[in-house]
């Protein structure tokens, strides 16, 4: 059992699950709990008897202005977060998909097949039986698919690398926008509420900062997922492994060639492979599937970003509504003892969170 490696694999998998659970717990402690505490703090501050109707109205106006600024910068159809997937698609189209040198790619594939054409019949058949990937005492391990698509991959690899650099720039600009929105919102709160008790601006600024920062983390996480998807797509589109786009396109030809036997089968076998590699559609279909795979991933990315944006802005609206609707003020006036007890517990919770953060190294 130990020689099989199964126990070690099991321990590794358990460790991955434990690490993931640990990250979730730490993220909850570091992000979600402080956000909840800040929102409860807003309820306490808004219900305090130190604010008269005029001051509450002024705070509502500030909240409205802050929310308008956030919505205008992040939630318009033309905002960077809403348009980044479309921009990625357009850039892929111009950088990677456009300028397909099909004739040159076909010539490169046919030229590669001429080398194999001179091989002994049995060696050629064994390569066909192993879908173009094989070795013999006289032939080192070779991949026919890799050799056949070499000219194409030389063209596309550089363009794909340049595209990914541009995509990284688009992502960075989205994060810059989010961070700028956060800074502007907090600055406006500080400026407009400078004549109010400091705790009001501090608590409101903390809530806005935490919620927008959670959005930034959502954006980072979804971008990481996209990069993982694109790495798989790159393997499918730019390598010749059996499960890749090119590998699957060649599979039926390898099967047909390998199944042939009898007199003249060697020449027929070689003709099948050569004719397949001579077809323009082999490479045209390849690029079509490359583009389809890319668009599938960017579509999923677009939905994930939109969901994250809607969720975080909805959370902010709930917090702002707590201030706008005056419920906290009325509830605080009706039950000042409860408000005071909650304020005490919030103070204790903040102290406890500082202790926990110190323990886990935040």
Reported as a single tens digit per residue, the pLDDT across 322-333 is 777 765 555 555
End-to-end CA separation in angstroms for the chain: 41
The alpha helices in the chain, defined as continuous H runs, are: 6-27, 33-46, 53-74, 80-92, 102-117, 121-129, 144-148, 150-192, 198-238, 245-259, 265-277, 280-324, 327-334, 336-360
Mean pLDDT of 46-59: 70
pLDDT band at 204; cut points 50, 70, 90: confident
Rounded to whole angstroms, how far apart are CA atoms 60 and 45?
A: 13
pLDDT digits (tens, 9 = 90+) for 121-163: 999 999 999 999 988 777 678 999 999 999 999 999 999 999 9
Question: What's the predicted TM-score (pTM) here?
Answer: 0.81
Which of 25-39, 56-70, 238-252, 336-350 is predicted most confidently? 238-252
Q: What is the pLDDT of residue 3?
A: 41
Phi/psi at 149 (5° precision):
-100, 10
Q: What is the pLDDT of residue 10?
A: 59
Query: Would you say residue 45 has pLDDT above 80?
Result: no
23-32, 46-55, 217-226, 232-241: least confident range = 23-32
pLDDT band at 25; cut points 50, 70, 90: low
Mean pLDDT of 224-253: 97
Rounded to whole angstroms, how far apart are CA atoms 74 and 58?
A: 25
Rounded to whole angstroms, how far apart are CA atoms 142 and 240?
A: 11
SS (H, E, C) 52-111: CHHHHHHHHHHHHHHHHHHHHHHCCCCCHHHHHHHHHHHHHHHHHHCCCCHHHHHHHHHH
pLDDT digits (tens, 9 = 90+) for 9-19: 556 566 655 55
78-87, 170-179, 322-331: least confident range = 322-331
Which letter does DSSP use for residue 149 in this model? Answer: T
131: left (phi over 0), alpha (psi -120 to 50) or beta: left
Rounded to whole angstroms, how far apart are CA atoms 283 and 278?
A: 10
77-81, 137-141, 306-310: least confident range = 137-141
Helix (H, G, I), strand (E, B) or coil at 211: helix
Q: What is the pLDDT of residue 168?
A: 98
Phi/psi at 5 (5° precision):
85, 0
Query: Would you say residue 33 has pLDDT above 80?
Result: no
Query: Would you say residue 184 has pLDDT above 50?
Result: yes
């Amino acid at each position: 059992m130990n020689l099989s490696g199964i126990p070690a694999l099991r321990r590794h998998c358990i460790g991955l699950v434990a690490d993931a659970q640990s990250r979730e717990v730490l993220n909850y402690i570091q992000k979600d709990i402080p956000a909840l505490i800040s929102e409860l703090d807003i309820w306490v501050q808004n219900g305090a008897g130190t604010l008269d109707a005029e001051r509450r109205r002024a705070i509502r106006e500030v909240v409205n202005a802050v929310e308008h600024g956030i919505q205008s910068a992040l939630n318009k159809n033309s905002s960077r977060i809403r348009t980044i997937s479309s921009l990625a698609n357009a850039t892929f189209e111009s950088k990677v998909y456009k300028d397909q040198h099909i004739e040159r790619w076909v010539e490169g594939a046919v030229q590669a097949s001429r080398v194999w054409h001179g091989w002994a019949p049995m060696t050629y058949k064994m390569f066909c039986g192993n879908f173009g990937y094989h070795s013999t005492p006289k032939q080192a391990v070779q991949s026919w698919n890799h050799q056949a698509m070499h000219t194409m991959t030389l063209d596309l690899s550089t363009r794909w690398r340049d595209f990914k650099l541009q995509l990284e720039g688009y992502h960075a600009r989205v994060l810059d926008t989010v961070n700028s929105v956060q800074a502007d919102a907090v600055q406006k709160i500080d400026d407009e509420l400078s004549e109010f008790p400091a705790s009001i601006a501090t608590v409101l600024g903390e809530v806005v900062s935490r919620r927008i920062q959670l959005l930034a983390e959502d954006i980072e996480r979804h971008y990481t997922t996209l990069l993982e998807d694109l790495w798989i797509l790159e393997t499918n589109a730019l390598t010749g492994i059996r499960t890749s786009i090119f590998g699957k396109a060649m599979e039926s030809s390898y099967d047909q060639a390998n199944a042939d036997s009898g007199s003249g089968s060697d020449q027929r076998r070689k003709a099948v492979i050569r004719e397949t590699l001579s077809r323009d559609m082999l490479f045209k279909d390849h690029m079509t599937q490359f583009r389809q795979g890319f668009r599938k991933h960017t579509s999923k990315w677009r939905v994930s970003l939109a969901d994250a944006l809607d969720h975080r802005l909805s959370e902010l609206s709930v917090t702002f509504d707590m201030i706008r609707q005056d419920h906290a003020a009325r509830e605080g006036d009706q039950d000042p003892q409860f408000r005071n007890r909650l304020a005490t517990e919030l103070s204790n919770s903040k102290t406890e969170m500082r202790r926990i953060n110190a323990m886990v190294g935040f």
